[in-house]
Amino acid sequence: MSDHELKLPLEWHQTAWNSLIDALDRDHLAHGLLIFGHHGVGKLHFAKALGHYLLCHQPQNHKACGQCQSCLLNKAATHPDMLVVQPEDVGKAIKVDQVRELNHFVAQTSQMSGKKVVIIEPADAMNINSSNALLKTLEEPAGDTHLILVVDSLSSLMATIRSRCQYYEIQPPTQQQATSFLSEMYPDRTDLDVLVTIAEQGPFYAKELIEQGKLEWRNLLSQGLVDVCGSKSSVEVAESWKPVDLMEALHWLDSWVRDMIVLVMTKDLERVKNRDLDALMNLVQSRNLDPRFLHRYREILSEMERAAIESHPNKQLVYDRLLVDWKTMIGA
């Protein structure tokens, strides 16, 4: 599933899609749209499907036709009235200069259908300066322009951004829907059910795990948490974690700590999403952990994530700090 194809809403997108189409048919669709939902459920795919539909010259059955000139340009990702704004580097901020270029794009006359579409993903990668630079355009976009902001969590955006948008939530697929979606791309894999669970019902995230070698990173991280409670030092483990993307590491660690809180509170391993991490979860079960420490560790992870977006921290120093705090919390 590449960028060079026409995007159509997926099976589990249909509820949000129908709601959005109804607003459009009643001429109640806002110029600012906020697409939010769980990580990996295909929010960017949904936003592009909407953009393709809005720019299509001959939509059919509330979807882009796939045959008009506009659709052909969108298939090639070369439509002059479609702009996708993302961080220049994965996991970094959307810069104020990028938003200024966006504002210039919006101010220009449409080159084709009269409509223009801007997608910002992830919208919470905008810092304060970038967000402020967007406000006026978001409130009064020139011409028939729709700005589609894509984000995992509404709370991660400035209130002044949220107040200028209509919200559409993308619900996650069922286990069967997600597994079926992935099986079309990976018919020979027998571990798709496990991958969907690891990806917390996010099939697009499961796709990343498969295609970008992230499962190896995940194993490296989880084993490191076990090793640092044994014979290895935090410096040694932090060095072994160097290949792992920092934002990815923070996401996984947060997911695992959430599982640990559930495990400590319920003593029920069946309620743990990452229960394939036997060694790590057995370690947690063997300690009398205070849930308050685990909640505090999640706060530290959140602080680290914000710092990583805004600046360029030394990854190994961040990992060493997280490992020292983890070892202290676990009582090793």
Rounded CA separation 317/308 (Å)? 12
Angle formed by the axes of helices 96-107 and 128-139, nearest 10°: 10
Catalogue the E-assigned strands of the chain.
32-37, 82-85, 115-120, 144-151, 166-170
By residue range, what is the domain housing residue 325?
Answer: 213-330
Q: Are residues 15 and 104 in the same domain?
A: yes
Q: Are residues 222 and 113 in the same domain?
A: no
Q: Are residues 111 and 260 in the same domain?
A: no
Spell out the alpha helix ranges (H) of 228-290.
234-240, 246-266, 278-285
Contact of 37 with 13, CB cutoff 8 Å = no
Q: Are residues 227 and 163 in the same domain?
A: no
Q: Is residue 110 part of a domain?
A: yes
Q: Is residue 207 part of a domain?
A: no
Q: Is residue 304 part of a domain?
A: yes
DSSP lists the bridge partners of residue 319 as none
**AA letter at 283:** L
172 has pLDDT over 70: yes
Q: Domain with 301 in it: what CATH number?
A: 1.20.272.10
pLDDT tens-digit series, residues 92-150: 899 999 999 999 999 999 998 789 999 999 999 998 999 999 999 999 888 899 999 99
pLDDT of residue 92: 85
- Give the count of alpha carbons within 13 A of 299, CB side only: 6
Q: Domain with 44 in it: what CATH number?
A: 3.40.50.300
Q: Is residue 82 part of a domain?
A: yes
Q: Which of 117, 115, 135 is nearest to 126 (CA)?
A: 135
Q: Out of 116, 151, 171, pick the residue that ends a domain.
A: 171
Q: Is residue 225 part of a domain?
A: yes
Rounded CA separation 194/184 (Å)? 16
Rounded CA separation 112/300 (Å)? 48
pLDDT band at 158 (very low <50, low <70, confident <90, very high): very high
pLDDT tens-digit series, residues 15-52: 999 999 999 999 999 999 999 999 999 999 999 999 99
Q: Tokens for 273?
A: 């999403």
Angle formed by the axes of helices 14-25 and 43-55, nearest 10°: 30
Q: Out of 111, 141, 171, pick the residue that ends a domain.
A: 171
Residue 149's Cβ-count burial label (10 Å; 0-12, 13-18, 19+) is buried
2 has pLDDT over 60: no
Handedness of CA 185, 171, 16, 98 (dihedral sign): negative
Q: Are residues 167 and 21 in the same domain?
A: yes
Q: Are residues 28 and 150 in the same domain?
A: yes
In this prediction, residues 66-94 reach a mean pLDDT of: 93
Q: Are residues 137 and 248 in the same domain?
A: no
Q: Are residues 132 and 247 in the same domain?
A: no
Rounded CA separation 94/309 (Å)? 9
Spell out the alpha helix ranges (H) of 56-91.
69-75
Q: Is residue 242 part of a domain?
A: yes
Q: Tokens for 121?
A: 């993903």
What mean pLDDT value characterizes the chain? 93
Rounded CA separation 179/160 (Å)? 38
Q: Is residue 92 part of a domain?
A: yes
**AA letter at 190:** T
Q: Is residue 206 part of a domain?
A: no
Q: Are residues 140 and 21 in the same domain?
A: yes
Q: Find how far residue 294's CA is from the centre of its chain.
A: 24
Cβ neighbours, 10 Å, residue 274: 19
Contact of 221 with 241, CB cutoff 8 Å = yes
pLDDT tens-digit series, residues 242-259: 999 998 899 999 999 999
Q: Are residues 29 and 94 in the same domain?
A: yes
**Phi-psi bin for 171: left (phi > 0), alpha (psi -120 to 50), beta?**
beta
Q: Out of 156, 171, 186, pick the residue that ends a domain.
A: 171
Q: Are residues 110 and 164 in the same domain?
A: yes
Model pTM score: 0.83
Look at the chain and report how many structural domains it folds into.
2
pLDDT of residue 332: 64
Rounded CA separation 31/44 (Å)? 17
Q: Are residues 165 and 222 in the same domain?
A: no
